Amino acid sequence: MKTSLQLGDESLNINLSAPIDISTTIQHDAGVGAWYIDQPKITHVEVDGYVGKVALGGSTNFNDVFFNPHSHGTHTECIGHITEEFHSVHDVLKSGTFFKAQLITVQPEQRGDDLIISNDLIAELENGVQAVIIRTLPNGDEKLSRNYSNTNPPYLLEEVALRFRESGIHHLLIDLPSVDKEKDDGKLLAHKAFWDYSGDQRLDATITELVYVPEEVEDGIYVMDLQLAPIENDAVPSRPILYATK
C-alpha cells in the first residue's frame, strides 16, 4: 500500500507494504549483548501448581522475561540515561514517530588502539533530515549475535555528535552498543554533545543503539517509524522500521 507522508515542509511517498526492520531481538540466552552482564532469560512461570508452558501440561505459555534494555537488543534512550533527574523515553515521541532519515555507511578508521568515526567519514546530510542511521563496516550478520563486552568497539567522536545536534538531527541510530567508547571513565562525550547535556538539554532527542541494517539496504533517504516499547524508563527496547522513498 503506497501513501504520502508530510514530514515538515516535505511530502514523501512510501510503500507501507515494504517495511525494512532494522532491530535486533531479545532472545533467551542468545542474541547480541554488551556491558558485562549475562544473556537475557525467558522462562516459564511455575506457581501454586500452575505451569506456564503448554509443552509441560500447562493451559497457556506464560513467561517471565529478564533483560537489560541497554545490553540486549535494539534500544532507544533519552537524556535520562545520563541525568540525575528521571526522564522517560516514553515521553519523547509525543508528537509522532515518523521521521525523515538518512542511512550512512562508514568504515571506522584506526586511531591508536581505537576504531573511531570522525566527521570526515560522515556524508553530507540532506535537507530536512531528522534522523541519522549509521551502519558500520564490516557488516556481517554476526552483529545479530555478537557479545561486545571487553572488545573496545568503534565509537563516534564528540565532533560528530555535535555536528548532528547543530544540524537539527533529533534521532541518532547506530549498529554499535554505544555512540561512545566502551571504557571512557564516564566521559560520555558523544552522548553529552548530542543531548547538549551542559546547555539547553534536548529532552526530545533520542539515541538508538544495536540496530542492524542488512547489506542490501542502500544508503540514502528513508522514512523511519521509531517504535518504542511502552515502558517508563530512560531506555526501552525499540523497533525502527524504514520505508524507502524511491
Residue indicated by cell numbers 541519522: 132
Q: Domain tally for the chain? A: 1
| 236 located within any domain | yes
Helix (H, G, I), strand (E, B) or coil at 240: strand
Residue 106's domain is classified under what CATH number?
Answer: 3.50.30.50
Whether 103 and 245 have beta carbons less than 8 Å apart is answered as no
| 221 located within any domain | yes
| 144 located within any domain | yes
For the segment 2-59, what is each residue's pLDDT rounded down to a tens digit?
A: 898 898 889 999 999 999 999 999 999 999 999 999 999 999 999 999 999 999 999 9
Q: What is the pLDDT of residue 1?
A: 80
Cα–Cα nearest to 101, from 197, 230, 32, 8: 8
Query: What percent of the chain stands above pLDDT 90?
Result: 94
The residue-averaged pLDDT of 91-107 equals 96
Kindly tell me if the per-residue pLDDT of 231 is higher than 90.
yes
Residue-range definition of the domain harbouring residue 236? 2-25+68-244
For the segment 144-201, what is each residue's pLDDT rounded down to a tens digit?
A: 999 999 999 999 999 999 999 999 999 999 999 999 999 999 999 999 999 999 999 9
Cα–Cα nearest to 119, from 76, 171, 162: 162
